[in-house]
Amino acid sequence: MTADGYLFLTDEHKMIRQAARDFAEKEIAPVAAEYDESGEFPVETIKKMGEMGFMGIEVPEEYGGAGMDTLAYVLALEEICKADAAHGTIMSVNNSLFCFGILKFGTEQQKQKYLRDVASGQAVGAYALTEPMSGSDAGTMRSRAVREGDHYVINGRKSWVTSAPVADYVLLFTMTAPEKQHRGITAFIIETDRPGFVRGKKEPKLGIRASATSEIVFEDYRVPVENRLGDEGEGFKIAMSVLDAGRIGISAQGLGIAEAAYEASLSYATEREAFGQKIGEFQGVSFKLADMKTRIEAARLLTYHAALLKQRARETGERYTLEASMAKLFTSETAMFCAHAAVQIHGGMGYSKELPVERYFRDAKITEIYEGTSEIQRVVIARLETRLK
Ligand code: CAA
């Protein structure tokens, strides 16, 4: 059964998925290898994605977005990632970390001021939580914001910030009261064209190479109080709650990569011959394909289910932390499983840059690391399910 078989897809869902598929095949797939090689940020395609409404799918139209639901976002992201996961990373951070954070926690004034450009792809949004000495233990950050009248002065360093080399705005999490530990973290909306915002070294990455990633350094950066997102001390909960949404995006990304790896393998297995027959006729290859397909369909259900719960949360306010973590964990491991199998099925050609399969393999790995490693997802799931702490 393909995704078309799912009863809960409306005509609108099918329409956005088809639009994303057509765009990805026409505009992204032909340039993906080139951007992967150069590591250049794909400015033009991202702008076009903005024009298509893909950079703010869940943002209401009044704030410049497409005004669609979470499943629409996931379906579109999956298609973009099938063509190129790096474009998908930029889209995902823009939609489910930056825009969602402001939409959920911002004031009306903040929404009016910051959503329109980012949701329409005219500007790029980023999310800065990690620091050189604070990764999975996000509550231990060392950067500081000190209040001085109607401003805060920020000093410190953030690392592994997706889109930081080009971002116009950054959702920043930093300590305003270090003695309170995670309860002393506060969120801010940062405009990157102000003094004291310094873009640091760009990371030379294994995969998703066109999604520029770098450090950010704050040197006496002054942010007005009206740019604080939520109250002082609410930053950690905002960061975690936004990551719940982000993890559904990474799950959709893993799904797209897994599908691309599977489809490439299926077609290679029905063309390539060895020992006088199609290699797909060998049990060793056909079993790999069977496992890939089964895991993909399970991953799809987890991803779509988490998306539906996030959508429902708009009315109920219920958390979907568990389902987002399970979806991200299973789908990212499925992406890695499928990309690994795809390289093996392709043999030498899977190891060559002549085909995109080696790129799927390199891109898949990040889904097990960012927005919470697989180990962190297991911590979240175990704690929520067993109440062990
Ligand atoms: N939603 C709302 N609140 C939440 C929450 C959630 N999902 N998860 C935790 N909280 C709240 C808790 O209820 C608790 O509240 P109280 O203070 O009232 O008790 C508080 O936050 C602290 O929770 P924990 O005790 O569970 O916190 P912890 O220190 O043990 O950390 C963790 C939990 C799961 C390990 C968390 O730190 C975590 O997810 N770490 C991984 C961070 C991560 O994903 N980093 C990736 C950064 S983004 C990125 O990858 C870059 C990019 O550009 C894409």
pLDDT (tens, 9 = 90+) of the chain, 389 residues, equals: 345 556 679 999 999 999 999 999 999 999 999 999 999 999 999 999 999 999 999 999 999 999 999 999 999 999 999 999 999 999 999 999 999 999 999 999 999 999 999 999 999 999 999 999 999 998 899 999 999 999 999 999 999 999 999 999 999 999 999 999 999 999 999 999 999 999 998 999 999 999 999 999 999 999 999 999 999 999 999 999 999 999 999 999 999 999 999 999 999 999 999 999 999 999 999 999 999 999 999 999 999 999 999 999 999 999 999 999 999 999 999 999 999 999 999 999 999 999 999 999 999 999 999 999 999 999 999 999 887 55
Question: 12, 371, 375, 385: which is the annotated catalytic residue?
Answer: 371
* Ligand 1 centroid to residue 236 C-alpha, Å: 7
* Ligand 1 centroid to residue 253 C-alpha, Å: 21
Nearest C-alpha to atom 43 of ligand 1 is from which residue?
372
Ligand 1: nearest atom to the Cα of 237: 3
For the chain, how many residues are written?
A: 389
The verdict on the CB of residue 183 being under 6 Å from ligand 1 is yes
Ligand 1: nearest atom to the Cα of 92: 54
The verdict on the CB of residue 92 being under 6 Å from ligand 1 is no
Strands 169-175 and 125-128: parallel
CA atoms within 13 A on the CB side of 313: 21
For residue 213, the cross-strand partners are 162
The verdict on the CB of residue 237 being under 6 Å from ligand 1 is yes
Spatial distance between the Cα atoms of 283 and 337, rounded to a whole number of angstroms: 18
Spatial distance between the Cα atoms of 175 and 256, rounded to a whole number of angstroms: 36
* Ligand 1 centroid to residue 135 C-alpha, Å: 11
Spatial distance between the Cα atoms of 240 and 256, rounded to a whole number of angstroms: 24
Give the torsion sign (CA, 338, 340, 344, 346): positive
- Can you give the pTM of this predicted structure? 0.96
The one-letter amino acid at 230: G
How many CB atoms lie under 10 A from the CB of residue 126? 29
Q: Helix, strand, or coil here: 47?
A: helix
Looking at residue 4, its pLDDT comes to 58
For 136, phi and psi rounded to 5 degrees?
-60, -35
The verdict on the CB of residue 239 being under 6 Å from ligand 1 is no
Ligand 1: nearest atom to the Cα of 243: 44
Ligand 1: nearest atom to the Cα of 164: 53
The verdict on the CB of residue 222 being under 6 Å from ligand 1 is no
- Mutational pocket test of ligand 1: of 99, 236, 332, the residue with most ligand atoms within 8 Å of the beta carbon: 236
Check if 371 is active-site: yes
Spatial distance between the Cα atoms of 260 and 336, rounded to a whole number of angstroms: 12
- Residue found by looking up tokens 């066109």 in the block: 210
Looking at residue 388, its pLDDT comes to 54
- Mutational pocket test of ligand 1: of 240, 310, 369, 375, the residue with most ligand atoms within 8 Å of the beta carbon: 240
Both tokens assigned to 383: 């704690």
- Mutational pocket test of ligand 1: of 105, 202, 231, 237, the residue with most ligand atoms within 8 Å of the beta carbon: 237
Burial 144-174 (b: 16+ CB within 10 A, else e): bbeeeeebbbbbbbbbbbbbbbbbbbbbbbb
* Ligand 1 centroid to residue 163 C-alpha, Å: 22
Nearest C-alpha to atom 47 of ligand 1 is from which residue?
371
Q: What is the largest CA-CA distance in the chain?
A: 79
* Ligand 1 centroid to residue 242 C-alpha, Å: 10
* Ligand 1 centroid to residue 351 C-alpha, Å: 38
- Residue found by looking up tokens 């899977």 in the block: 350
Looking at residue 1, its pLDDT comes to 39
* Ligand 1 centroid to residue 192 C-alpha, Å: 26
Looking at residue 112, its pLDDT comes to 97
